[in-house]
Structure 1
Amino acid sequence: MPRPRGVDLRVDGTEVQVRRPRAGRAGRKAFVSGKKKQSIAKKKQSTAKKKQSTAKTTTISDSSGRLLWPGADRPGRMRDQTAVRAEGIAEQFRLHPKAKAEADEGYRGLANEFPDRVSAPPKKPKNDAPLGERHAWRKQRRRQSSRRICVEHVIGEEKRWRPLQRYTGRHEY
């Protein structure tokens, strides 16, 4: 039997707006995202920002853009890094030493824990950094982004099913 070669994964998370859980429900605030905001019009003022209720999903694809794992839905307040630990992805990297992954900025902790196997975008240089260093950072970031684009396409494919969000029944169904 042939030995399996290294697996090259793409990991990313996304937030999708969901109906706000019922008043009085335990854990209602967990769905309020600090990241997603919706503009609302106020009387005699410009627009204000209202926090949205969201669900977060971690998606994993291969380097060809095939969906491998659509992930589990988590409340929108949960950070990407916390979701990775809760879903057991970090543990899978310990169990499968040949697996490698490209991830976005939200997974920097995972990249720090497995530096030779998980690649996150480089940290942005300080404002007083030399111009050459800033150009090198931008070039490195674009290279890493172009390797991760396939998981963004997978997420886009999933979000084409957005009309299902308007289902007005109970969340459990």
Structure 2
Amino acid sequence: MGAGAKHELVFVDRLLDTLVSLRHGVTHDVLACWFGVDRSTITRAIGEVRPLLAERGCPVAPGLRLRTLAEVIDHLGADGATGIIDGTEVRVRRPAAGRKDREKFISGKNKQNAVKSMVVTDAEGRLLFCSPAEPASCADITQARDLGLVKLLADCPFVEILADAGYQGLGAQTGGRVVTPTHRKFKENPPEWYEEMRERQSKAHSSRRIRPEHGIGHLKNWRALARHHGRREHMSDIIQAVAGLLSHQQTAMAANGTRM
């Protein structure tokens, strides 16, 4: 503690640098001009403050922050609330030619280089959790399993989790706690009654997920998550920092009776 070069910027300025960088995607060179310091000073400040923001978690009530998926599941179970999970992708730079892991960042959905994070919201679309970033080649259901979602749901009171078709298969593994759209039983020449029934079920499921989809969409309003041109190693901190800040905004607006 206390070692290293002294800071040229007070903590409030370092925090402001980080917030502007996350919200508006302003480059370090521009921030350095604004504050009259060297670019390396800005880079150092953001590198120190960004992890602190990521560790704050998502506030859901005064004095209550959710930092892990286990805390989110316990919170939903205690309130008997419904949760929604979904995966969100952020485009990143392609790894350099010749690297053995160059292809693992290619998304199977968008065919672009990206990282993926699993997002958990409540039924109102309020952010509760964002997982660390993984290469986008990882399937949604695989990421959920790796995060321990199946075991967490098995060890807690009944919690209903809504998910899209990318998580089909978790319902059977969690005793029906994860609800996904039904599998298509007829691949060719389905009866009319089946198509009508499946369409009604899909619309009913989508209508319950639409507000959380909007909530997740607010993440991309932060320029740092629109497309990332920096180091991929920082993406976990960036995603979790933005999620915590957005969750704080959502909680404050909910307390004032307003909606995003």
Q: What band does the TM-score fall into relative to the shorter chain?
A: 0.7 to 0.9
Shift of 1:143: 0.1
- TM-score, with normalisation over the residues of structure 1? 0.81
Which ranges of 4 or more aligned residues in structure 1 deviate by more than 6 Å? none
Change (3 A) 1:82 1:137: same
Change (3 A) 1:63 1:21: same
The answer to whether the aligner puts 1:32 opposite 2:106 as a matched pair is: yes
Mapping 1:17-166, distance limit 5 Å: 17-36=91-110, 51-126=111-186, 127-163=188-224
Range with greater deviation from structure 2 (121-130 or 148-157): 121-130
Separation in 2, partners of 1:85, 1:164: 24
- Structure 1 match to 2:43: none
Question: Which stretches in structure 2 are left out of the alignment for 5+ residues?
Answer: 1-76, 235-260
Change (3 A) 1:29 1:160: same
Separation in 2, partners of 1:90, 1:80: 13
- Structure 1 match to 2:88: 14
8 Å contact from structure 2 (residues 93, 228) kept in 1: no
Q: Which amino acid aligns with 1:22?
A: A
- TM-score, with normalisation over the residues of structure 2? 0.55
Separation in 2, partners of 1:103, 1:169: 31
Q: Which has the higher helix share?
A: 2
Q: Look at both structures and tell me which one has the larger radius of gyration over its CA atoms.
A: 2
Separation in 2, partners of 1:145, 1:30: 30
8 Å contact from structure 2 (residues 93, 230) kept in 1: no
Aligned length: 157
What secondary structure, in the 3-state scheme, does the structure 2 residue paired with 1:4 have? helix
What secondary structure, in the 3-state scheme, does the structure 2 residue paired with 1:13 have? strand
Range with greater deviation from structure 2 (102-111 or 148-157): 148-157
Separation in 2, partners of 1:56, 1:33: 9
Q: Which amino acid aligns with 2:103?
A: K
Change (3 A) 1:15 1:172: closer
Q: CA RMSD in A?
A: 2.0
Q: Quote the sequence identity (%).
A: 38
Range with greater deviation from structure 2 (23-32 or 63-72): 23-32
Separation in 2, partners of 1:134, 1:31: 36
Change (3 A) 1:167 1:121: closer
8 Å contact from structure 1 (residues 5, 98) kept in 2: no
Question: Which stretches in structure 1 are left out of the alignment for 5+ residues?
Answer: 37-50
Q: Which amino acid aligns with 2:120?
A: I
Range with greater deviation from structure 2 (98-107 or 118-127): 118-127
